[in-house]
Homo-oligomer: A and B are copies of this chain.
Amino acid sequence: MPHLMLKDLPRYECLLEAAREFPDLDPSATEVFLHLLRTGDEAFRVVDTHLAQHDISQGRFGVLMALWGNCQRAGSENEKPLTPAELADRTGVTRATITGLVDTLEAAGFVTRTPHPDDRRMMSVGLTKRGEKLLVRILPAHFRRMAWLMEPLSETERKTFVRLLTKVLTRATGEQTGAESAEAVLSARA
């Protein structure tokens, strides 16, 4: 689970000291980076612990949410069945992983897997009544956890937070402007 390198984040003075040995080390950037990963990890753990109480992993939950289609993708009425490929796309895991998740969810009776009417290569994965009930039972506490976690932040701070996160996310996910891509820039001096 942990995406982490050091559980106890280094003190800033240590980063400064290390920066003398490694000129490439930007202390403030490193500090933000480590805090980001650590906090993301702990936030994940908070909700994952809750979902695990209902035998639902984050991956399974993602599939259920995608199927439940809560206002995803403009213009879709809720509860539309999806293909494994669409599920992979929306949850951000590979198709191979979707196969495994759907296997588990199907065995538990939360989703059904039927041949796609139009294209015999495809499958159609739909949420069952049972799966829907599970979500309705789980979601309130799930939302409460997120609200609890963010309670220390004012509305203004939340706006700022999202803005900063978006800046980093935009850079991380590329919007590859050719020569400016991460790989190009960063391997130049390798």
> Is A168 a contact of B148 with CB atoms below 8 Å?
no
Partner pick for A90 among B6, B46, B160, B189, CB 8 A cutoff: B6
Complex CA distance for A68 and B97, rounded to whole angstroms: 35
Number of copies: 2
Known contacts A32-B158, A43-B33, A93-B2; decide if A153 and B172 are in contact (CB<8 Å): no
**CB of A182 within 8 Å of the partner chain:** yes
Contact with B along A20-53 (1 / 0, CB 8 A): 0010111011111101111111111111001000
A10 CB within 8 Å of chain B: yes
* Structural contact, A31 and B158, CB atoms closer than 8 A: yes
Inter-chain contact B4/A173, CB cutoff 8 Å: no
Interface status of A89 (Cβ within 8 A of chain B)? yes
Q: Are A90 and B42 in contact (CB under 8 A)?
A: no
* A114 adjacent to chain B (CB < 8 Å): no
